[in-house]
Structure 1
Amino acid sequence: MREVIDAFYRERSIVNHQIASYNDFLERRLQDIVSSTRIGEGEGLERGYIHPEIEGYKVKLGKIKVGRPTVKEATGEEHPITPMEARLRDLTYEAPVSVEFIPVIDGEVQEDLLEEVKIGSLPIMIKSKKCNISREMLEEEAGRKLSDEEYEKKLIELQEDPLDPGGYFIINGTERVLITLEDLASNRVLTEKTNRYGYEVETAQVFSQREGFRSLIVVEKRKDGMLMTTLPNVASQIPLIIILKALGLDNNSIFNNMASYPETEVFILANIEACEDEYEVITEEDAIDFIGKKIAGGQAKEYRRERVNELLDRTILPHLGNEQKDRIRKGIFLARMGEAVLELALGYRREDDKDHYANKRLKLAGDLMEDLFRVAFVALCKDLKYQLERLYARGKSKEELKIKPYVRHDVFDQRIHHAMATGNWVGGRTGVSQLLDRTSNLSTISHLRRITSPL
């Protein structure tokens, strides 16, 4: 057994999960965030573009590049920096990040006006692929593969401990670690029974997540057998059947997707009847009107419709898509949630165990950095959009709008540095980044592998 464990740790570091997650963030997720960013007002805007309010003008977001960790001296010269230099000089171990901005004028992509602009700096994890002391970087410099002895010797030359596992960051000279976060799995339906109003209520809930946006949807069965839905940003509950009708399902589709046992059929038919008799909702139009009055009562009809469309396409189950064509899929998903609630109430299924590891997910360094980068990048793009609109309003022509001078690094850097230095993360979480405990080797390893559970 000892030989197996030794062989495993010869191949992988003890903090391999953190390093692998951060490498995935650098290689794949950064580009995904840039390609899916959509800045601008209005419906149906294309992803991967900034849409300023300038007729016939938008900016395409191209490839993103992360350089090697460098430091800029007072003289203005830049040179690569090692982690030890960052520690001794109280610097942040970070690499410059640049993005391609391509203006699109009247539908024509202006490749000749392409600008690769530095948007700011990103803290680099020690021993990750972009780190100056990682094996890949040192082998690239040497132009050949390094043996274990040679790599160890190189690390000692750079004043690094060959046994240090890496997996942490250096911010203003202090070593900081991102604590892994335990979270409920998103996009999974979890059923449970809760005691409310003095009797048992059966519920099914799902945390639907897409690109950092998360929305909680709960379906529950009332005492009288009515299935009610709780939606984000909607004050009161809405009957499930009405939402299904608004999403484009007719009575037959609702029945076929929810009925699994003869006993459940009675409940479904009673729910459909109650919506038609009590709420007078028969068609898709009636359902949209009903929801419109709930979320924007007393407003103009057009505005109410707009709000309902936004609720159905953007807020409800965003992981299934946010186009009008995705509504049927969302309807079927919600109908299956209703089916799960009825089966739980009639004893055909057991409650889901929230504490079971199948229903948990861990947010590693890469996931946490992804959330932080998305917020910082969107803020930078919004600022750039504002600057371009201001320039255009002052009389500059579309061809004269230069991007490079108006990209403000501080908008991006300040958000990332503040979160990394204080541990106050986006979404209101605190204590995400902590000072690495160097009391002993064991306390360091323990801190790098620690998991916090806010549940």
Structure 2
Amino acid sequence: FIQKKFQISKNFILEIFGIYLSQPHFFLKNKKIKKIPRQCRELKISYSGDFLLGMSSISGKFGKSSFIYKIGNIPIMIKSVKCNLYQQKKKQLIEIDEEEIEMGGYFIINGMEKMIRLLIVPKKNISFTLSRLTNTSRGDLCTTLSCSFRSVDRLQTSRTLHLHYLTTGSVHARIIVQKKEFFIPIIILIKSLIPISDKKIFEFLTKSLSKDKFFRNRIMAMLKDAHEICDLKTQTSVLKFLGKIFKNSFEIDSPDIKSIGEKFLSNHILIHLGEDRESKVKLLFFMINKLLSAQKKNSIEDNPDSISSQEFLLPGHLIMVYFKERFENSLNSIFNNKESNLRISYDFNDCNKNFQKQFYTNFLSKAFISIGKGLSQIISTGSYVSNFNHEISQTSGLSVSIERINFGRFLSYFRSIHRGKFFFELKNTSGRKLLPQSWGFLCPVHTPDGSLCGILNHIASSVLVSLSN
């Protein structure tokens, strides 16, 4: 998502080829000196590195020129690859007055030690069948039964797809786009992905249960429901139908309604599979069969409170998603604006020797300087106010201040896991219970009394968090 090329005018192209992060440092008498965490604690400053943006311009007057700009500062996690303490031995740490046993994993913001909480989220790329009373409030025809799938791509962007079983026997997909809910018949979604006939859909869904009248009747109800809403003769007509629904939800240069439908499928439907649409359709078939099996009581429902259905939202994942969203928003705010494009073209084609400085002052600083400040705000306050399109369980309480009363207290922060603000306010106690499946993974004793009981838990000492994607 970093490499972008913009055609500003006929004779001018601006290309972003990368972003860079330097190690924390400061200058003393024109000499570059490494910054260490101890100095930041004593001076009440942030332990951060320079955030650099690499750009190149191609113009008819000057040819191609590349340059790198500093667009802010980014907090550096202690003992990370960019930290000056990385791979330092005990003797070296003692010589610079650092802790002999420095674990890292936290940030220093204005002299305060902060860490991003380990939040519990539903396990990615796995379908879950749930029966909840709140599902009936989604629509007049919705029942309590639904099948959910949290799709997460390699950049940790997540999109959750919900399939709802209706009282009519049909199945509708519930999708959230720009914080708005949309219900779409599942057959329309399937036919928009690949060109497939009704007969093939019927055969695929009843392949293993061809003699089961319950399944056959439900599939017929789905097909009938879809034909009443949309023209399903061709894939193009279905894509245009989706484009009309989501035309106000996407910023796209092309006026073609079909391209809006294509973008919706790429950005919101099972994004972990990329552009492999046949695999997406097969996964939708599997989710439909699982939902209908649960409705007929042929399979049991999944338990979202079980630790086998959960995973952690790691600090690096949250920061990655934040960078992706804010970086793309900053680029779109500048280069999709016609007035900005004319100004950029003017500055580069009618410039003097200081054209790079003028360009930085006018455009880059305004667009990107808020990225570093926003990340510092998330770490220091644990909350933010922005149009954050990523699905995140809460927008406050994301970070916590570290207390160094003793080493045990310090260590407990890195073993703590939080169920989420939603369960803290929930009157139901199902999210607080310690289930037998948690034995060996969660400590059955280490949880606070009062309102946080069962919400703030701690992993066992022998547990390791897997980083495999």
TM more than 0.5: yes
Separation in structure 2 between the aligned mates of residue 362 and residue 396 of structure 1, nearest angstrom: 47
1:249·1:328 contact (CA, 8 Å) conserved in 2? Answer: no
Query: Does residue 177 in structure 1 map to residue 125 in structure 2?
Result: no
Figure out how many residues of one structure are paired with residues of the other and give that number. Answer: 384
Separation in structure 2 between the aligned mates of residue 128 and residue 296 of structure 1, nearest angstrom: 43
**Could you tell me which of 269, 289, 294 is aligned with 1:339?**
289
| 4+ residue runs over 6 A deviation | 398-401
Partner of 2:202: 255
CA drift at 1:55: 3.4
Write the mapping of 1:135-214 to structure 2, written as runs, cut at 5 A: 136=87, 138=88, 151-195=89-133, 197=136, 201-210=144-153, 211=155, 213-214=157-158
Q: Which amino acid aligns with 2:4?
A: Y
* Higher helix proportion (structure 1 or 2): 1
Q: Which amino acid aligns with 1:316?
A: I
CA drift at 1:398: 9.2
The Cα offsets for residues 373-430 of structure 1, whole Å up to 9 and x where unpaired, read as 3344335545664696253353642998955651326333322222222221574621
Separation in structure 2 between the aligned mates of residue 98 and residue 292 of structure 1, nearest angstrom: 38
SS of 2:132's equivalent?
strand
The Cα offsets for residues 210-234 of structure 1, whole Å up to 9 and x where unpaired, read as 4454332211221221112212236
Partner of 2:171: 227
Separation in structure 1 between the aligned mates of residue 103 and residue 241 of structure 2, nearest angstrom: 59
Q: Which amino acid aligns with 2:341?
A: E
Separation in structure 1 between the aligned mates of residue 104 and residue 282 of structure 2, nearest angstrom: 46
Farther-moved stretch of structure 1 (284-293 vs 211-220):
284-293
1:245·1:283 contact (CA, 8 Å) conserved in 2? Answer: no
Q: Which amino acid aligns with 1:337?
A: M
Query: Does residue 446 in structure 1 map to residue 399 in structure 2?
Result: no
Partner of 1:218: 162
Write the mapping of 1:286-305 to structure 2, written as runs, cut at 5 A: 286-288=237-239, 290-291=241-242, 304-305=257-258
**Could you tell me which of 4, 24, 48 is aligned with 1:94?**
48
Partner of 1:43: none
Query: Gapped runs of 5+ residues in structure 1?
Result: 1-35, 38-47, 139-150
Query: Does residue 329 in structure 1 map to residue 282 in structure 2?
Result: no
Q: Which amino acid aligns with 1:431?
A: G
Query: Gapped runs of 5+ residues in structure 2?
Result: 249-254, 389-393, 424-469
Query: Does residue 370 in structure 1 map to residue 320 in structure 2?
Result: yes
Partner of 1:309: 262
CA drift at 1:87: 0.9
Separation in structure 1 between the aligned mates of residue 395 and residue 12 of structure 2, nearest angstrom: 38
Label 1:382 to 1:71 Cα distance change in 2 as closer, same or farther (>3 A).
Answer: farther
Partner of 2:25: 70
Label 1:68 to 1:236 Cα distance change in 2 as closer, same or farther (>3 A).
Answer: closer
Label 1:418 to 1:283 Cα distance change in 2 as closer, same or farther (>3 A).
Answer: same
Label 1:291 to 1:372 Cα distance change in 2 as closer, same or farther (>3 A).
Answer: closer
**Could you tell me which of 163, 177, 188 is aligned with 1:242?**
188
SS of 1:394's equivalent?
helix
1:194·1:201 contact (CA, 8 Å) conserved in 2? Answer: yes
Partner of 1:269: 220
The Cα offsets for residues 114-163 of structure 1, whole Å up to 9 and x where unpaired, read as 223333322222222322233x3x4xxxxxxxxxxxx3332222111213
Q: Which amino acid aligns with 1:83?
A: P
Q: Which amino acid aligns with 2:111?
A: G
2:4·2:17 contact (CA, 8 Å) conserved in 1? Answer: no
Separation in structure 2 between the aligned mates of residue 177 and residue 69 of structure 1, nearest angstrom: 18
CA drift at 1:85: 0.9
Partner of 2:451: none
Write the mapping of 1:104-119 to structure 2, written as runs, cut at 5 A: 104=58, 113-119=65-71
Q: Which amino acid aligns with 1:222?
A: L
**Could you tell me which of 414, 418, 422 is aligned with 2:373?**
414
Separation in structure 1 between the aligned mates of residue 10 and residue 126 of structure 2, nearest angstrom: 42
The Cα offsets for residues 335-389 of structure 1, whole Å up to 9 and x where unpaired, read as 2221221122123322122123332221222222222333443355456646962
Label 1:72 to 1:258 Cα distance change in 2 as closer, same or farther (>3 A).
Answer: farther
The Cα offsets for residues 35-69 of structure 1, whole Å up to 9 and x where unpaired, read as x23xxxxxxxxxx2142543364433334433221
Higher relative contact order (CA 8 A, sep 6+): 1
SS of 2:375's equivalent?
helix
The Cα offsets for residues 57-85 of structure 1, whole Å up to 9 and x where unpaired, read as 44333344332211246x66542111111
SS of 1:361's equivalent?
strand
Separation in structure 1 between the aligned mates of residue 350 and residue 270 of structure 2, nearest angstrom: 39
Q: Which amino acid aligns with 1:313?
A: S
SS of 2:343's equivalent?
helix
Q: Which amino acid aligns with 2:123?
A: A
Label 1:339 to 1:399 Cα distance change in 2 as closer, same or farther (>3 A).
Answer: farther
Label 1:188 to 1:437 Cα distance change in 2 as closer, same or farther (>3 A).
Answer: same
SS of 1:208's equivalent?
strand
Farther-moved stretch of structure 1 (247-256 vs 429-438):
247-256
Q: Which amino acid aligns with 1:261?
A: L
CA drift at 1:331: 2.8
CA drift at 1:446: 0.7
Q: Which amino acid aligns with 1:251?
A: D
1:376·1:415 contact (CA, 8 Å) conserved in 2? Answer: no
Task: Name the Cα RMSD after superposition.
Answer: 3.4
Label 1:51 to 1:178 Cα distance change in 2 as closer, same or farther (>3 A).
Answer: same
TM-score after normalising by structure 1: 0.73
SS of 2:218's equivalent?
helix
SS of 1:254's equivalent?
helix
Partner of 1:32: none
Label 1:197 to 1:354 Cα distance change in 2 as closer, same or farther (>3 A).
Answer: closer
